Amino acid sequence: MCGIVGCILKVGSVAPLIHDSLKRLEYRGYDSCGVATMDRGRIYMKKDSGSIDEVHARLNLDDLPGRIGVGHTRWATHGAPTQVNAHPHLDCKGRIAVVHNGIIENFAELRRELEEKGHRFASKTDTEVVAHLVEDYMAGGLGFVEACREAIKRLRGSYALAILCAGEERIVCARKESPLVLGVGADGMYFASDIPAFLPYTNRVVVMEDGELAVLTDSGYEIRRIDDWSLVSREPKLIDWSVDMAEKQGYPHFMLKEIHEQPRCLRDTLRLQPVYLDLMAKFLDRAQELFLVACGTSYHACLATSYLFSKLACRGSHPVIASEFIQNYGNTLGIGSTVLAVSQSGETADTLSAVSYAKDRAATILGITNVVGSTLTRLARVYVCQQSGPEIGVAATKTYTSQLSVLTQLAIKLGMLRGKIGHVEGEELHEWLWRIPDITAEILDSREKQVMELAKRYAGSDKFLFVGRGINYATAMEGRLKLLEIAYIPSLAYAGLEDHVFGFVDGGTIAVFICPNNNSRKVLIDEMNLLRDVGANIIALAEEGDVEVAEVADDVVWLPAMPLDLLTPIPYIVPLQLLAYYTSVERGLNPDRPRNLAKSVTVK
Ligand code: AGP
């Protein structure tokens, strides 16, 4: 995955602005970066491998001349992260500059064809073919925009593209299956992979759709369908995310900032328009067969939701990891199937493949996502925005608890619709949901220091084991994912201890038990004892004052009493997010930038 951004200003120098915007896209990739500008009929370019700060320190990205430019921050997919493979990519004469996010599947055959015509390629990337294709069509007599359109028509795969041409006071952008948004500013026009990139400059946003090409000038934009060249009329929408929401606000890392944003995000999820949740509940009720499909953290939200649906609404469902969905259920899908897809980004390739496959077989598609205008929102019959605001940290934190909150509301609605929850009970559950933001704030206030100390003590451990039963099996899985993702400590998650686990455990093992006061508590305490006997250090998350847990665990993180087990996943995941965060920091790692991982996996 990569981030692209660019701008065409009415007056002034664009390079510092692109540099600044690129910084807000680093979560999309950070192995190399580059900027190209156009000034007085010439393209100027600087690019190199390394993070934006490193490249800027070496090259000074701010002194490129001109008021038109494009930038790119890369996460390599084709070609190693080297200077030559960094974007932008140029044509033979250095008159066309291209930045791209996505994968051009047929680049090898296009490259062969262009090389036979005499084009010389500098990089190993798929993207470079675009610059040469545009050059080729222009050499054949087409104007810049027409040449871009013809070039793009030749591409198979996914792309968010932006193209500059020497002597042209325009930027051409196009989108297929990779996110691309335009920003309409008073001082000029912007484009980016994601809104936070240009949010300090404008909050008037146009979301581009698949198959569209936009021509940006300093005073506006024109969008056309690439296939029939019809004009698309789309007005900008006002985005109410503040710039502050997209920046670190004094926290050392985005992840910690986002962990602390959870009380506010949870409140926002409770202000959702009920109409879409009601509609979604109706679709869930009538589904003959219901699949909850997602990847990673969003899958853990689905896993928890299957317990919520079952216990609150007597509604059976299959939580499925998106990459396995077609293999496992492809043959059984039909008009009676409903897929509730959960994806923070709305762009995860495996989730979208599963959804598209099911949609082609007449299944009903429902979506929960954080990104309005994402591909998932366009594929879904009904979607609900989870209201988390942008999440920059690669590790999902606030988006997970927001998903849980939305899905719990949905389960309550479904339970009421199906007559499994009475009105009074429904209202009580809602009241408790409204208390969870304050409970979360209290946990952050009162437990962060303790968890930081635990991380200090255990950061050198070489293995962790997370144990949680019932709905908190999802919490165990998510706690493990967080630790693996940002601290790289081998970890396992179990719903109940199986014999072979005892071979894994030794004196260096940290066993984390998610042990609220419910009907699994006794079994979990027994399992803590068994693990302690074989040398494990026990950390328990338990209800305030649980003496029996305190007797067996080495450390207890006390959490407030909840009236219902089904409401515990949100408060109980918070200490585990902090544990992963501080362990990563203790190990000298950057939790915002786990190695070999990008925020959103938009290619398979
Ligand atoms: C979570 O911390 C990870 N970054 C990752 O597993 C993520 O949850 C997964 O890729 C799904 O992303 P999505 O919600 O945007 O579809």
Query: Could you give the 3-state DSSP secondary structure of residue 109?
Result: helix
The CATH number for 37's domain is: 3.60.20.10
**Which one-letter amino acid corresponds to residue 211?**
G
Of the listed 23, 46, 398, 599, which one is catalytic?
Answer: 599
Residue 139: inside a domain: yes
The pLDDT tens digits of the residues spanning 240-287 come to 776 656 566 568 899 999 999 999 889 888 877 788 899 999 999 999
Secondary structure of 271-328 in HEC code, one letter for each residue: CCCHHHHHHHHHHHHHCCEEEEEECHHHHHHHHHHHHHHHHHHCCCCEEEEHHHHHHH
Taking only Cα atoms into account, the Rg of the chain, rounded to an integer number of angstroms, comes to 25
Residue 471: inside a domain: yes
pLDDT at 432: 94
Residue 427: inside a domain: no
Provide the whole-model pTM. 0.69
- As given in the structure block, the two tokens for residue 221 are 């934009």
Specify whether 241 is located in the same domain as 263.
no
The pLDDT tens digits of the residues spanning 403-450 come to 999 999 999 999 999 999 999 999 999 999 999 999 999 999 999 999
pLDDT at 275: 87
Closest Cα to residue 124, out of 163, 168, 77, 171? Answer: 77
Specify whether 149 is located in the same domain as 55.
yes
413 is catalytic: no
Specify whether 77 is located in the same domain as 164.
yes
State the average pLDDT over residues 71-79: 77
The pLDDT tens digits of the residues spanning 293-321 come to 999 999 999 999 999 999 999 999 999 99
Verify whether ligand 1 is closer than 6 Å to residue 343 (CB atom): yes
Verify whether ligand 1 is closer than 6 Å to residue 377 (CB atom): no
- Confidence label for 530 from pLDDT (cuts 50, 70 and 90): very high
The pLDDT tens digits of the residues spanning 473-513 come to 999 999 999 999 999 999 999 998 887 888 888 889 999 99
Domain boundary (247, 276, 295) is at 247
Residue 559: inside a domain: yes
Residue 320: inside a domain: yes
Q: How far apart are CA 95 and CA 529, in angstroms?
A: 70
Q: How far apart are CA 221 and CA 200, in angstroms?
A: 20
pLDDT at 246: 59
Verify whether ligand 1 is closer than 6 Å to residue 203 (CB atom): no
Task: Tell me how far the alpha carbon of residue 261 lies from the centroid of ligand 1, in angstroms.
Answer: 18
- Cβ proximity of 399 and 386 under 8 Å: yes
The pLDDT tens digits of the residues spanning 17-43 come to 999 999 988 877 778 999 999 999 999
Residue 297 CA: nearest ligand 1 atom is 8
CB atoms within 10 A of CB 330: 12
Residue with the nearest Cα to atom 2 of ligand 1?
Answer: 395
Verify whether ligand 1 is closer than 6 Å to residue 408 (CB atom): no
Residue 599: inside a domain: no
Residue 387: inside a domain: yes
2 is catalytic: yes
Task: Tell me how far the alpha carbon of residue 600 lies from the centroid of ligand 1, in angstroms.
Answer: 6
Residue 348 CA: nearest ligand 1 atom is 16
Verify whether ligand 1 is closer than 6 Å to residue 344 (CB atom): yes
pLDDT at 1 over 70: no
Specify whether 369 is located in the same domain as 516.
no
Q: Show the DSSP H helices in 24-143 as ranges.
A: 52-59, 107-116, 128-139
Verify whether ligand 1 is closer than 6 Å to residue 394 (CB atom): yes
Specify whether 209 is located in the same domain as 144.
yes
Specify whether 35 is located in the same domain as 106.
yes
Residue 432: inside a domain: no
Query: Could you give the 3-state DSSP secondary structure of residue 441?
Result: helix
Which of 253, 298, 370 has most ligand 1 atoms within 8 Å of CB, for mutation?
Answer: 298
pLDDT at 164 over 70: yes
Structural domain including 10 reads 3-247
Domain boundary (371, 404, 421) is at 421
Task: Tell me how far the alpha carbon of residue 472 lies from the centroid of ligand 1, in angstroms.
Answer: 19
Task: Specify the number of domains making up the chain.
Answer: 3
- Confidence label for 78 from pLDDT (cuts 50, 70 and 90): low
Residue 369 CA: nearest ligand 1 atom is 14
The pLDDT tens digits of the residues spanning 44-72 come to 999 999 999 999 999 999 999 999 999 99
